[in-house]
Structure 1
Amino acid sequence: MDARTKPTLLDDVEAFLKANGLSATRFGVLAAGDTKFVNTLRKGRKVRLATEERVRAWMESQG
């Protein structure tokens, strides 16, 4: 898999939302402490590596 086909954080978050029935706002609060986290990702927000790692770790801890 090359960089063009590697799932992005947003791809993984969207899949998590769908699979777990969470709203974008609730996910943002729980995973990142930010109610607007998902919506700003959808608008192109770039996140620091530490933030991405924290969010991914939270998703993994959920199931």
Structure 2
Amino acid sequence: MRLGIEALSKALGPAGMARFMQQFEMGSGDYTRDRDQILGNPSIDEIFADIQEMQQEQQEEGGS
């Protein structure tokens, strides 16, 4: 960890390193579990059908 902080400080300078560290946040939770709960486990055919449906809706709305 110390080497990483030293590398950041050398590359970004002390102020840049401080700004980087302020933006960096270790999240919490289990991304894979949460993603599966939100998205489920769609098949390739289901994903393709969803894409085609969105494209059709965009064309009907006059989008590209």
Q: What TM-score does the superposition give when structure 1 sets the normalisation length?
A: 0.27
Kindly indicate which of the two structures has a greater share of residues assigned to helix.
2
| Higher relative contact order, structure no. (Cα contacts within 8 Å, ≥ 6 residues apart) | 1
TM-score by length of 2: 0.27
